Amino acid sequence: MWDYRYKTHHDVEKVLSKLIKNHICTKSAFLEKLKETNISGQLSLYVHTPYCDNICSFCNLNRKRGKQEIESYSKKLCEEIKSYAPFRFCQSSEVDVIFFGGGTPTIYSEIQLEHILKAIHSSFRLVPHCEFTFETTLHNLSQEKIALLEKYGVNRLSIGIQTFSTRGRKLLNRSFPKEIVLKRLQEIRHSFHGTLCIDIIYNYPQQTIEELLEDVRCLSDCHIDSVSFYSLIVEEKSKLFHFFQKNPLFFEYHLEKDKELHHIFCEQMLQRGYHLLELTKFVKKDKYQYIQNNYQARNLLPIGSGSGGRIGNIGCYHMNSKISFYMRYSSNYQKAYQLLGLFQFPSISEENLKSFSGKNYEKIRNKMDKFIEKGYFSYQNHQFIYTITGIFWGNNIAAEILKLGR
């Protein structure tokens, strides 16, 4: 049906932004929103670290910086966190989710990390068992840092493994060969008492089915709780992009191979007792409230350079330390965004689909019948349930539905 695959929800969000235009607004509008009482009481935090000490070959951002710059940034981050504490919106909120993304948030020293974590706890009120995630890598996550993170409530680690294959890891510029990766993961699994998550990239250049099956075996043997899996995206300006330009025969993308590897991965994960949480995530023990909050367009306060979020109907994006921009979302956009969100999860209730489709429900329902005929969904007990083929095309399906619902 399609000759091009949207690989992530970000691709579909770009489609949505073209279909429904929002209006640029000012920083003052964002600050005025923060002066209001938070009627829902719900608030999540996204804290961004734009630095890494090792750059993946598929990454298109220049994130390597010196220790002095990281020290300066950690201090500014603490100041920014504390600056939100006096606002009524924050004072009338309970934080249900905190996500430290990057970059690599564990690049900080233990002293820097403790200052940042103390700033969070002194500035915000956290719900009991708040989902608290840190993205990290194997080479800068020491046992001392694990203990420190747990001390301040971090209960979810997301580690960028990408692949266990030593050949694949060299290609993607990841630290350590397979043997050391397995040893480090087992040590972390033993010492960290929260949810352990990893990222896996498939369909990297010349990846074999055997390498993919070995990735599944290794993550299962390490008792990983949650796995995000993505087909390789070669970003412009990344090392891989420049390498492929000079060596075009080294990697030629084939949609059918992408589908084959995707299907094998999904089947293997299901056989090993994992279940699908959303289009790119299999879990054994992970609710991952952050992604659910995101697709319900809930409040997410962005902190740090490179962060983005929304308070009410005002979006805020800190492009860097000097440039931010703000967007006022229309009610039509917010409803369409939530409609998009329905299609990120393994099943869609007919009731929810009808609720977010509004006057376009009949058109969308007819489209869903056609998707069922093509084998993308099954229909049981008023639920549209993705098949493995449907999961592969899930973001394309979401884009088609958005076009009907505009």
- In the chain, the N- to C-terminal Cα span, in Å, equals 21
What is the chain's mean pLDDT, rounded? 93
Find out whether 58 and 234 touch, Cβ atoms under 8 Å. Answer: yes
User: Using omega within 30 degrees of 0 as the cis cutoff, is the peptide bond preceding 103 cis?
Assistant: yes
Pairing outcome for strands 324-328 and 314-318: antiparallel
Q: What are the tens digits of pLDDT across the range 106-123?
A: 999 999 999 999 999 999
Q: Which residues of 153-184 are buried (b: 16+ CB within 10 A; e: fewer)?
A: bbbbbbbbbbbbbbbbbebbbbebebeebbeb
Residue indicated by tokens 């995530």: 281
Q: How far apart are CA 95 and CA 60, in angstroms?
A: 32
The DSSP secondary-structure symbol of 322 reads: S
In this structure, of 251-255, 316-320, 391-395, the range with the lowest mean pLDDT score is 251-255
CATH class of the region 22-311 = alpha beta
Neighbour-count burial of 249, counting CB atoms closer than 10 A to its CB (0-12 exposed, 13-18 middle, 19+ buried) = exposed
Neighbour-count burial of 1, counting CB atoms closer than 10 A to its CB (0-12 exposed, 13-18 middle, 19+ buried) = exposed
Domain ranges in the chain are 1-21+331-406, 22-311
Q: Is the pLDDT at 127 greater than 90, yes or no?
A: yes
215 vs 53: which has the higher pLDDT? 215
Find out whether 150 and 194 touch, Cβ atoms under 8 Å. Answer: yes
The DSSP bridge partners found for residue 47 are 100, 303
Find out whether 143 and 180 touch, Cβ atoms under 8 Å. Answer: no
pLDDT in the model for residue 225: 97
Strand order in the sheet with 347-349: 347-349, 383-386, 377-380
How sure is the predictor about 241, in pLDDT bands with cuts at 50, 70 and 90? low
In this structure, of 61-65, 245-249, 273-277, the range with the lowest mean pLDDT score is 61-65
Phi and psi at 259, nearest 5°, equal: -65, -40
Pairing outcome for strands 126-136 and 94-102: parallel
pTM: 0.94
Q: Which 3 state secondary structure label does DSSP give 161?
A: strand
- A 10 A CB-CB count for 358 gives 13
Q: Estimate the crossing angle of helix 67-83 against helix 110-123, to 10 degrees.
A: 10
Q: What are the tens digits of pLDDT across the range 257-292?
A: 999 999 999 999 999 999 999 999 999 988 999 999
